[in-house]
Homo-oligomer: A and B are copies of this chain.
């Protein structure tokens, strides 16, 4: 079978991690790169020896030798680029969150409905074996009916500072857990209440808490604080508690099986999401991109997460941000 030709729009640090994965993925060719910044474009394209390079994403969308477009830009560019990409007929892999508002998401959904290509938003955690096994246990009824959920996804202030001018912590990481909890419970939000903190100097709040009532009667609580101290050993302190009427389960992605104490202090390197193992990126991101590539190759519609679900997660977190701004409970 012919290799799938993948182009990337957006070459921040995460776009480059995408490139690293794709460059070593059998059956995939890293075919084209795009960023508005010429110097960065040259740097990354040279590194991966990619000939097709452009500072205008429309060039990439018009290129007949590109099959898949991965969008890893800032969230504020998602809507327009995703819609153009869908209209171009390419297969589109869009990083999460889908877009800043549910209205933006709805416009992307409309474009996706009439698009020829496959479309998926990169909710990486759905590809985490821990999460998937938890979902399977829940669906098999092992913990009964869910009554309470809590998710924490906290980061060092060092990482926070790099992204808090683009997105709030609550939207940026809460989007993961908002989605997972709706998926686990198969319920819909009735109300949401949130509070945020803003100790840093960036544009968006450094942390937030959201409490959601679901129509199933369950409570879900999201914690996302990008203000852990520089000395935190956590690459990411990500964990989840799901309590049901018959059982409970606990996911811990913060203590991911390796702890190093050396002259520089203590750390728990990323072993799960995109660990660099002898020069290649492994882990959940690789599984996720592999999944989308396999869907494209087989002509299958991605089913692990639907665009509608991605939109619903945005709607939930956007409502949380609104609650935080107004101090009021937001009803759905």
Q: How many copies does the complex hold?
A: 4
Measured between beta carbons, the chain B residues less than 8 angstroms from A147 are: 197, 199, 206-207, 225, 227
Within 8 A of B (CB), among A244-263: 244-253, 255-263
Shortest C-beta distance, A160 to chain B (Å), equals 12
Q: Encode contact with B along A300-332: 1 for CB under 8 Å, 0 otherwise.
A: 000010000000000000000000000111000
Which of A143, A193, A255 has the largest count of B CB atoms less than 10 A from its CB? A193
A contacts with B: majority SS: mixed
Measured between beta carbons, the chain B residues less than 8 angstroms from A145 are: 199
A294 to B253 alpha-carbon distance, docked (Å): 29
A101 close to chain B: CB less than 8 A = no
**Out of B219, B260, B304, which one reaches A249, CB within 8 Å?**
B260
Measured between beta carbons, the chain B residues less than 8 angstroms from A199 are: 145, 147, 217, 245
Shortest C-beta distance, A161 to chain B (Å), equals 13
A-B pairs, top 10 by smallest CB distance, nearest first, are A247-B262, A129-B275, A130-B257, A132-B277, A142-B262, A130-B258, A129-B271, A266-B266, A250-B259, A249-B260
Interface residues of A (CB under 8 A from B): 26-27, 127, 129-130, 132-134, 136-137, 142-143, 145, 147-148, 150, 152, 154, 191, 193, 195-197, 199, 206-207, 209, 211, 213, 217-219, 221, 223, 225, 227-233, 241, 243-253, 255-266, 269, 271-272, 275-278, 282-283, 287, 290, 294, 297, 304, 327-329
